[in-house]
Chain A
């Protein structure tokens, strides 16, 4: 039922909103090098603007890091992409966010369908406390009609836990509670849970900030492996992390009006060695922020 819903939500839009891509195959989304196109995105909490006029292209099968000081709107920008920003009361976003040519804020788009294609991993590991490790991965996929029956679930759970580099550690205790794992394991469980939805884009909001250095390293290696199949956006406070894992980096800072804006974006190597903007240079060299 929900699968049908999801497909129709995107299909109708494809024919109506994404007319230029009508020539592409029936169900596959257009294969574009730019997966997400942001134009003049503003985000608000009530009357307060927290993100101002951000335009950005996100490349396919790459890791894009969003860095910047606290309050620069990094997380909010990320949450605008999978329409999680609006879950907070009185929060809204304006501007254009296109996902493979589809306007995600079109009236006909179901936000739940957007979130099924664009997965999210949060700062705090948040496995469902009453579900077992197995169900944490299987339940979301089952509710969204991606799997039927017991065997399909077992295969999917094993496959996703392997992709999230957690399988060997949990394969003998799949029936235990997800919250019985360590913080780093919980975060990988949340990544496995997101992968079970077969998303195209993975948004990661400071996924390592609650983890120790070893767990952080494991997640970083995982991200590099995952980028062959997914487009990844990561918000991070850790500039070394951005330098280590990302292909492109976007630097945001807070303007005098209290809203975050994009200072510059480019290949990570260039941003860290030859930033074009003074603000970027000051930030990455630790002079402010």
Chain B
């Protein structure tokens, strides 16, 4: 006892302190290095794109010839939002049901399902694009916004499943036991207790999935193809922001195309950022909801 007390009084050795400081310094340096590309990309996109964006840019369609000046990116904004919206309508219900399945079903079947979702999450997005091309585009004989939505839905599905499953697993056991002890069926327990309780978390996962999907280019190249004209018809080829950026950036020798790509890039970053901020806001609201004042 006395010996321990004396150990406490002994000053920390110099090398010990140096070691502790070294870790802090290394961690700080690593963080700064990680921030460099992030800040560089953001500032470059803002400096190059901010001057391009104005009301006309957001509300007009691009000119037929991408080397021509003028026009905007309206069709790409609506196309991105429409395809992401339809993709969410496809992926969200399926994803939530798969998450319920994964939470409820144990054993080999449950493990297999979770493994498949992990594989799906790791699938390169271009492979998803080729898959939907073979499945829908070839079968229908034409590119379409719907094919693009389907490809985006496949990208979103594992994100939704994993985040929703996580929310279900976080629910306190007494809550689920309370429901079961009142004679609730499993289905009723999910519908009336689990999903409402986990709702903001599920919604946050959805937003993360959407913000990932709107940034995808590869799955759209073979599916929605792109469209120079304004179209909301899901059966027609549809323009999207990443596709527009890709095509215009390839022709950046033309100043007009280069500027258009930069303006569209900044718009896309802003949309993704908006979805992320909305998600974070919902998470913070959930934390507040857990500890309500009397």
Q: Which of B157-165, B173-181, B227-235, B245-253 contacts A (4 or more CB under 8 A)?
A: B173-181
Q: Are B174 and A194 in contact (CB under 8 A)?
A: no
Q: Are B178 and A84 in contact (CB under 8 A)?
A: no
Asked if B93 is at the interface (CB within 8 A of a chain A CB), the reply is no
> For chain B residues 186-211, which have a beta carbon within 8 Å of chain A?
188, 192-193, 196-197, 199
Residue of B nearest to A6 (CB): B183
Residue of B nearest to A125 (CB): B174
Assuming the contacts A129-B175, A143-B192, asked whether A115 and B181 have C-beta atoms less than 8 A apart, the reply is yes
Asked if B33 is at the interface (CB within 8 A of a chain A CB), the reply is no
Asked if A101 is at the interface (CB within 8 A of a chain B CB), the reply is no
What 1/0 flags go to A128-170 for Cβ under 8 Å of B?
Answer: 1111000000011001100000000000000000000000000
Q: Are A143 and B181 in contact (CB under 8 A)?
A: no
Asked if A7 is at the interface (CB within 8 A of a chain B CB), the reply is no
When chains A and B are docked, how far (Å) is the Cα of A116 from the Cα of B177? 13
Assuming the contacts A126-B174, A179-B292, asked whether A84 and B183 have C-beta atoms less than 8 A apart, the reply is no
Asked if B63 is at the interface (CB within 8 A of a chain A CB), the reply is no
Q: Which residues of B contact A194 (CB under 8 A)?
A: 182
| Size band of the interface chain B makes with A | 20 to 34
> For chain A residues 49-96, which have a beta carbon within 8 Å of chain B?
82, 84, 87, 89
Residue of A nearest to B290 (CB): A129
Q: Are A126 and B292 in contact (CB under 8 A)?
A: no
Which of the residues A87, A116, A124, A129 comes within 8 Å of B182, measured between beta carbons? A116
Residue of A nearest to B171 (CB): A129
Asked if A241 is at the interface (CB within 8 A of a chain B CB), the reply is no
Q: Are A112 and B197 in contact (CB under 8 A)?
A: no
Q: Are A128 and B180 in contact (CB under 8 A)?
A: no
Residue among B106, B182, B185, B192 having the largest count of chain A Cβ atoms under 10 Å = B182
Residue among A119, A127, A140 having the largest count of chain B Cβ atoms under 10 Å = A140
Q: Are A197 and B193 in contact (CB under 8 A)?
A: no
When chains A and B are docked, how far (Å) is the Cα of A115 from the Cα of B183? 5
Residue of A nearest to B183 (CB): A116
- A107–chain B nearest beta-carbon distance, Å: 18
Q: Which residues of A contact B192 (CB under 8 A)?
A: 128, 139, 143
Asked if A12 is at the interface (CB within 8 A of a chain B CB), the reply is no
| Size band of the interface chain A makes with B | 20 to 34
Q: Which residues of A contact B275 (CB under 8 A)?
A: none
When chains A and B are docked, how far (Å) is the Cα of A140 from the Cα of B184? 8
Assuming the contacts A139-B192, A180-B292, asked whether A130 and B197 have C-beta atoms less than 8 A apart, the reply is yes
Q: Are A128 and B177 in contact (CB under 8 A)?
A: no
Assuming the contacts A122-B174, A128-B197, asked whether A82 and B181 have C-beta atoms less than 8 A apart, the reply is yes
When chains A and B are docked, how far (Å) is the Cα of A131 from the Cα of B197? 9
Asked if A193 is at the interface (CB within 8 A of a chain B CB), the reply is yes
Asked if B294 is at the interface (CB within 8 A of a chain A CB), the reply is yes
Assuming the contacts A87-B180, A122-B177, A126-B175, asked whether A112 and B185 have C-beta atoms less than 8 A apart, the reply is yes
Asked if A219 is at the interface (CB within 8 A of a chain B CB), the reply is no
Asked if A216 is at the interface (CB within 8 A of a chain B CB), the reply is no
- A41–chain B nearest beta-carbon distance, Å: 19
What 1/0 flags go to B280-294 for Cβ under 8 Å of A?
Answer: 000000000010111
Assuming the contacts A128-B197, A129-B197, asked whether A119 and B181 have C-beta atoms less than 8 A apart, the reply is yes
When chains A and B are docked, how far (Å) is the Cα of A157 from the Cα of B193? 19
Q: Are A130 and B196 in contact (CB under 8 A)?
A: yes
Q: Are A128 and B106 in contact (CB under 8 A)?
A: no
Which of the residues A128, A143, A144 comes within 8 Å of B178, measured between beta carbons? A128
When chains A and B are docked, how far (Å) is the Cα of A87 from the Cα of B293? 33
Q: Which residues of B contact A122 (CB under 8 A)?
A: 174, 177-178, 181
When chains A and B are docked, how far (Å) is the Cα of A102 from the Cα of B197? 36
Q: Are A180 and B185 in contact (CB under 8 A)?
A: no
Q: Are A115 and B182 in contact (CB under 8 A)?
A: yes
Assuming the contacts A122-B174, A126-B177, A177-B292, asked whether A197 and B183 have C-beta atoms less than 8 A apart, the reply is yes
Q: Are B175 and A143 in contact (CB under 8 A)?
A: no
Asked if A113 is at the interface (CB within 8 A of a chain B CB), the reply is yes
Asked if A190 is at the interface (CB within 8 A of a chain B CB), the reply is yes
Residue of B nearest to A129 (CB): B197
Residue of B nearest to A139 (CB): B192
Q: Are B174 and A193 in contact (CB under 8 A)?
A: no
Residue of A nearest to B182 (CB): A140
Residue among A129, A180, A193 having the largest count of chain B Cβ atoms under 10 Å = A129
Beyond contacts A120-B181, A143-B192: 7 other A-B pairs, Cβ-Cβ < 8 A, are A87-B177, A126-B175, A126-B177, A128-B175, A128-B192, A143-B184, A190-B178
25 contacts between A and B (CB under 8 A): A2-B183, A87-B180, A89-B106, A113-B183, A114-B183, A115-B180, A115-B183, A116-B183, A119-B181, A119-B182, A128-B175, A128-B178, A129-B290, A130-B197, A139-B192, A140-B182, A140-B183, A143-B188, A144-B182, A144-B183, A177-B292, A180-B292, A180-B293, A190-B178, A197-B183
